[in-house]
């Protein structure tokens, strides 16, 4: 039998913005190829968005229209719902529940939804035998979900490090290349559409936290736990730290990190200095990357476009093809009932090396004061630099530590703050081997 004689997979698409339109385009433009790959034709039968009349650059008159996106789940012609509206709650959440509990497949690019309700939705999918897929929710066009749940599934994963937010990576790249301050790069990025009018989700690390929580759950078989994930964004990164990082052989990146430790799983999001020669240091502009360490495979590196119409729609349609092929396994890699409730380690338990920058008065005895503080907290110095006069007087002292706990590093910072010679709050960054 020819593929075109097999019953098409009926798709309902909720959300016709950047990604939704991208999905419609791929399905239309590659119809013949997708039909062969999927083993049956893929046919969009119904769509929903807020405004029916909006010109979206694609003809939607050929599809049934639903004013209420949740109605897509109950249309008989719809076998699979593609959710591209966004938001952790509201219509996206309602549509996910309605679709999965009716035994239909649900494909989404919505990291906020999966990070917040992933466990509940995976349980629903398992209970009803429905497929739940979310490849586009993490790192856009990079097939990192498939890599963790399929390609690397024979490995015991020891850790992963990801650059998962294109806006932040773009801002850090511009700050380094143009020697610009964070606020100036952010406003430039907003003007050219690289950053949202409200950039909080991106620059404060929340978007990276959603994605990191999802990757950690898949890599370690732990329940998604966005509430207990320590998150720090890039707002406080100064151009001077980017310059010193380079001088010391590092580059600053916003990282999502998940590592197996002897006493638990360490999951966190923060800016960090990574060695200039590491794979992640070379990831510039809006590109995303994830480095995964598996016991059998060693280190694998995944790099590519983390957002945008084509890359994100590419991942969404790949999930649709998997559903058409009949591929269905537990959405979180293992059954929800087997997910471990390993406790997250708190940030203060983190053991690592640190960079610290102090602005101090240029007077005798400063170095002695600083080394005394470090000795008192039993933190040893790996390297120390002093630079000439800086703006408004004072000099910068920059140091890196040997391995210590975050508690000890914070205690050092607190003591630095009480020294008379210290002119402003010191800066601190974690150093990650990545
Ligand atoms: N853009 C990317 O590069 C990218 C990358 C990875 C993941 N994602 C994820 O993909 C999803 C979609 O992102 P996007 O960039 O395509 O967003 P977008 O351009 O803002 O589009 C959102 C779409 O959802 C529709 N919508 C919003 N609320 C709705 C409601 N209550 N009922 C029905 N439709 C509603 C909007 O309708 P109207 O058009 O009528 O206003 C619009 O068509 C999000 O979860 C996002 O996090 C996006």
pLDDT tens per residue, range 317-374: 999 999 999 999 999 999 999 998 766 677 777 889 999 999 999 888 999 999 999 9
What sign has the CA pseudo-torsion 235, 238, 241, 242?
A: positive
Cβ neighbours of residue 372 closer than 8 Å, sequence gap 6 or more: none
H or E element at residue 300: strand 298-305
125-182: pLDDT as tens digits: 999 999 999 999 999 999 999 999 999 999 999 999 999 999 999 999 999 999 999 9
381 pLDDT exceeds 90?
yes
Ordered domains of the chain (ranges, CATH): 3-137 (3.40.50.720), 144-305 (3.30.360.10), 350-431 (3.30.70.260)
Instruction: Please provide the DSSP assignment of 247-277 as one string.
Output: HHTEEEEEEEEEEEETTEEEEEEEEEEEETT
d(CA 26, CA 24): 6
Alpha helices (runs of H) in 325-384, residue ranges in sequence order: 366-376
Q: What pLDDT score does 49 carry?
A: 98
Q: Which atom of ligand 1 is nearest to the CA of 83?
A: 11
CA distance 335 to 129: 12
Give the integer Cα–Cα distance in Å for 207 and 225: 14
Instruction: Please count the other Cβ atoms lying within 10 Å of the Cβ belonging to residue 225.
Output: 18
pLDDT at 188: 93
CA of 365 to the centre of ligand 1 (A): 58
Q: Is the pLDDT at 4 greater than 70, yes or no?
A: no
pLDDT, averaged across the chain? 95
Q: 392 — alpha (psi -120 to 50), left (phi > 0) or beta?
A: left
In this structure, the residue with its CA closest to atom 35 of ligand 1 is: 49
pLDDT of residue 434: 76
User: Ligand 1: residues whose CB is within 6 Å?
Assistant: 14-20, 48-51, 54, 69, 84-86, 91, 109-111, 136, 140, 307-308, 312
Indicate if the pLDDT at residue 391 is higher than 80.
Answer: no
104 is catalytic: no
């Amino acid at each position: 039998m020819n593929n075109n004689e097999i019953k098409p997979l009926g798709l309902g698409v909720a959300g016709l913005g950047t990604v939704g339109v991208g999905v419609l385009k791929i399905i239309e433009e590659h119809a013949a190829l997708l039909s062969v790959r999927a083993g049956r034709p893929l046919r969009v039968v119904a769509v929903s968005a807020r405004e029916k009349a909006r010109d979206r650059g694609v003809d939607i008159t050929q599809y049934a229209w639903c004013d209420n996106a949740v109605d897509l789940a109950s249309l008989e012609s719809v076998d699979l719902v593609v959710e591209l509206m966004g938001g952790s709650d509201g219509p996206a959440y309602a549509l996910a529940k309605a679709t999965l509990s009716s035994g239909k497949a649900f494909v989404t690019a919505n990291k906020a939804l999966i990070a917040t309700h992933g466990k509940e939705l995976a349980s629903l999918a398992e209970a009803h035998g429905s497929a739940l897929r979310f490849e586009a929710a993490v790192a856009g066009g990079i097939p990192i979900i498939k890599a963790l749940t399929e390609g690397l599934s024979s490995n015991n994963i020891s850790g992963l490090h990801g650059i998962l937010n294109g806006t932040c990576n773009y801002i850090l790249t511009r700050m380094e290349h143009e020697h610009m301050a964070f606020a100036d790069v952010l406003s430039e990025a907003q003007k050219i559409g690289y950053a949202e009018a409200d950039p909080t989700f991106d620059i404060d690390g929340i978007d990276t936290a959603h994605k990191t929580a999802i990757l950690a759950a898949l890599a370690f078989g732990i329940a998604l736990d966005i509430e207990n994930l320590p998150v720090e964004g890039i707002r406080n990164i100064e151009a001077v730290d980017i310059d010193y990082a380079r001088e010391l052989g590092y580059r600053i990146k916003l990282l999502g990190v998940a590592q197996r430790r002897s006493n638990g799983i360490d999951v966190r999001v923060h800016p960090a200095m990574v060695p200039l020669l590491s794979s992640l240091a070379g990831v510039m502009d809006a590109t995303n990357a994830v480095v995964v360490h598996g016991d059998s495979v060693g280190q694998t590196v995944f790099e590519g476009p983390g957002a945008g119409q084509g890359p994100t729609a590419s991942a969404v349609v790949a999930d649709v093809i998997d559903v058409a092929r009949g591929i269905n396994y537990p959405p979180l890699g293992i059954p929800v009932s087997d997910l471990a409730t390993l406790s997250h380690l708190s940030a203060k338990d983190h053991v690592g090396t640190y960079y610290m920058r102090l602005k101090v008065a240029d007077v005798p005895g400063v170095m002695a004061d600083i080394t005394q503080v470090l000795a008192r907290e039993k933190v040893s110095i790996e390297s120390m630099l002093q630079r000439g006069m800086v703006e408004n007087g004072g000099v910068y002292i920059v140091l890196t530590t040997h391995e210590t706990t975050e508690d000890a590093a914070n205690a050092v910072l607190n003591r630095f703050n009480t020294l008379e010679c210290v002119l402003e709050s010191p800066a601190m960054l974690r150093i990650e081997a990545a």
